[in-house]
Amino acid sequence: MAKISYVHVESALGMALSHDMTQIDVKTGYKGARFKKGHILRQEDVRLLKSMGKESISVLELDEGDVHEDDAASRLAERLSGEGISSEAPEEGKVALSALWNGLLVYDEESIHRINEDPDWIVATAANKVPVKKGELVAGVRIVPLVMREEQVRQGEDAVLPLTVFPFVPLKTALVTTGKELAEGRIRDGFAPKLQKKLAGYGATLQWQTVVGDEREEIAAAITAYIEQGAELVIATGGMSVDPDDRTAGAIASVAEEVRFKGVPTVPGAHLMLALRGEAKIVGAPACVVHDEWTSLDPLLNRLFAGLIPTAAEVRRWGVGGMCRKCRECNYPVCVFAAR
């Protein structure tokens, strides 16, 4: 087992530090590793160490099979770094993981729980299945003790399933706005500008829009026409509820090869629908998308632009976290609520 002894700073001149030593300066707001692992202690360091509250330093002697905290954290971070994730060099006994590009952060939550069952490991992540930006911190790894045993490190490595950032891929997007009152010009469509803003977060633009009435046949014809023109995503808004004039869901079903789901346990936007026709995705968006800034449409768009088409079983789990309460204060370019 590793041996740790403690030496008064004034008696440790010429010795190498066994770990990073953190300084917190309240006046300047600085927090960081003032002295790095391996630093050879000099006379001029003594005063600063004492100002940091360090009267002694630790001297570490590793035995065979011992793994230093920096090496253990680096090994686990490397295993956690899947596609789209980079890990930095260890500092202060921890390793930061960041996104290499804009996209959707995805990982197996049970894997993280299994690692953290060992109280000597600390793995903290950003929320699962949320948008992240290039360079954004998505996870951190550190260990509690100064030294781990090799077998303990391997157990942590064996529990790892990598984190991944699925890049957002711009989809050719069309909007079919339904409603007789809109088609006759009695009211103006308020969703297209809002959708354009959302699409920009994925690097996409709204390429087509048409306004049709409430008849199932004209809604279906508009959707079909856009798919034949090359649309990869068609969003039909309105007419998704249970009123007699709501025929959008039926129109979508009539042109789709598969209805993936209709209805989700999220609020607002419970009447959301997703169908597929070839490679094209057809979304039935309830009328609330015009009124509310964030709805069930947003987590669905996150997945679709990341190339992840949710299953019906996954959608039924959106109820946990599926009520958006503070969306108007949210600064994210695309919604993170209902992340599950």
CB neighbour list of residue 243: distance below 8 Å, 6 or more residues apart = none
Q: What was the pLDDT predicted at 253?
A: 96
Token readout for 296 is 């069930």
pLDDT in tens, 186-228: 888 889 999 999 999 999 999 999 999 999 999 999 999 999 9
Q: What structural domains does the chain harbor?
A: 3-61 (3.90.105.10), 66-165 (3.90.1170), 173-329 (3.40.980.10)
Kindly write down the DSSP assignment for every residue of 215-237, as one continuous string.
-HHHHHHHHHHHHHTT-SEEEEE
CA-based nearest residue to 35, from 13, 53, 60, 16 = 16
Q: What was the pLDDT predicted at 245?
A: 64
The Cα–Cα gap between 232 and 38 comes to 55
pLDDT in tens, 264-318: 999 999 999 999 999 999 999 999 999 898 899 999 999 999 999 999 999 999 9
The Cα–Cα gap between 269 and 251 comes to 19
pLDDT in tens, 25-68: 888 888 877 887 777 788 988 888 888 888 888 776 678 999 98
Amino acid residing at 45: D
Q: What was the pLDDT predicted at 13?
A: 83
Please, are residues 177 and 284 in contact by the beta-carbon 8 Å criterion? no
Could you tell me the pTM of the whole model? 0.82
